[in-house]
Amino acid sequence: MLRYGRPFNFPRWIDDNAHLLKPPVGNQQIWQDSDLLVTVVGGPNRRSDFHDDPLEEFFYQFKGHAHLLIADRGRFERVDLKEGDIFLMAPHVLHSPQRPEAGSLCLVVERQRPASLQDAFEWRCACCGETVLRQTLQLHSIVTDLPPAYERFYASSTAERTCPRCGEVHPGRDATAWHRALAEHHAFA
């Protein structure tokens, strides 16, 4: 009857999991066996990847501020998430969550993916916006499935991280360098 347990105090859950809501982990899934992926994500973090989710994502920025970088046809747009904001993102919107504030917290709700749908993660050229590398995977757990995808990208060769359009080399693990290049080429960053 109560498959997922009894109601619990969310602020207490946050306190109990605070060590997981900051680097290097940064997030924690609340229920492991539900049809929804309900995750709390903490800052700070800087990412250079873009998530292509085949389903909607719901964001509730309940502490601090964050923003999403949206990639679309070689251009980037910034969507700010201020404390208290909610946002529902449509499927297949390439987005890169950025959480520059230490202690910021966001509740993210997604549906489990049926076997027929895969997520993708793209790394894009900060100069021209072209896709440098794309990985697809069957996502079951944000906490456990994402780190191996990132590690595969970080282990890729310079040739694999070279933009096929303009020749710029993606800095890989150095998200700060990627964001610096993005700011040089795009006014909003």
Q: Which pLDDT value is given to residue 116?
A: 94
* pLDDT tens track for 2-60: 999 999 999 999 999 999 998 867 999 999 889 999 999 999 999 999 999 999 999 99
Any bridge partners for residue 163, and if so which?
none
Q: Which pLDDT value is given to residue 140?
A: 84
- What's the number of CA atoms in the CB half-sphere (13 Å) around residue 127? 11
Extents of the domains making up the chain: 10-185
* pLDDT tens track for 83-93: 999 999 999 99
* pLDDT tens track for 57-88: 999 999 999 999 999 998 999 999 999 999 99
Contact between 165 and 125 (Cβ < 8 Å): yes
Instruction: Report d(CA 189, CA 183) in Å as an integer.
Output: 5
Q: Which pLDDT value is given to residue 141?
A: 82
Instruction: Report d(CA 87, CA 45) in Å as an integer.
Output: 19
Residue length, the chain? Answer: 189
Contact between 89 and 56 (Cβ < 8 Å): yes
* pLDDT tens track for 111-169: 999 999 999 999 999 999 999 999 999 988 878 888 899 999 999 999 999 999 999 99
Q: Which pLDDT value is given to residue 189?
A: 53
CATH architecture of the domain with residue range 10-185? Sandwich (2.60)
The secondary structure element, H or E, covering residue 146 is: helix 142-154
